[in-house]
Amino acid sequence: MVDAFSFPGIGAVRFGVDRVERLSQDILSIDDNCETVILISDAGVAKAGLVERLKLILNHAGLDVILFTDIFGEPQSKDVEAATAVVRRCDHACIIGLGGGSALDVAKIAGVIAAEDRPAEDYALSAHPFPAPRYKQILIPTTAGTGSEVTRSAVFTTHDRRKVWTWGYELAPDLVILDPRLTVSSPVQVTAASGLDALVHAIEACTCQQRNAFINSFGLQAIRLGKQHLMAAIRNPEDLDARGGMQLAATLAGIAFANTGTAAAHSIGHALATIADVPHGRAVAIGLDAILAWNAEFLPEAFDDVADALGCPGGAPDAVTAFRSLIEQTGLKRSLADLDIDPKVLAEAMMSKENMPMLENNARPISADDALELARRALSV
* SS3 state of residue 2: coil
> Could you tell me what percentage of the chain is helix, strand and coil, using 3-state DSSP and rounding each to the nearest 5?
55, 10, 30
Q: Which of 34, 36, 39, 38 is nearest to 50 (CA)?
A: 39
Nearer to Fe ion, 197 or 370 (CB): 197
Residues that bind Fe ion (CB under 5 A): 197
**Residue 161 region by backbone torsions, left for phi larger than 0, else alpha for psi between -120 and 50, else beta:** left
Nearer to Fe ion, 69 or 142 (CB): 142
The span from the CA of 186 to the CA of 360, in Å, is: 34
The span from the CA of 178 to the CA of 158, in Å, is: 30
Nearer to Fe ion, 133 or 269 (CB): 269
In the DSSP assignment, the letter for residue 137 is E
In the complex, minimum distance from the CB of residue 360 to Fe ion, in angstroms, rounded to a whole number = 17
109, 101 contact by CB (below 8 A): no
In the DSSP assignment, the letter for residue 171 is G
Nearer to Fe ion, 197 or 305 (CB): 197
In the complex, minimum distance from the CB of residue 253 to Fe ion, in angstroms, rounded to a whole number = 9
Burial of 92 (0-12, 13-18, 19+ CB in 10 A): exposed
In the complex, minimum distance from the CB of residue 192 to Fe ion, in angstroms, rounded to a whole number = 14
User: Which residue number has the CB closest to Fe ion?
Assistant: 197
In the complex, minimum distance from the CB of residue 200 to Fe ion, in angstroms, rounded to a whole number = 6
Nearer to Fe ion, 179 or 197 (CB): 197
Sign of the C-alpha dihedral computed for residues 310, 327, 72 and 55 taken in this order: negative
In the chain the first and final C-alpha atoms are separated, in Å, by 41
In the complex, minimum distance from the CB of residue 94 to Fe ion, in angstroms, rounded to a whole number = 27
Nearer to Fe ion, 81 or 197 (CB): 197
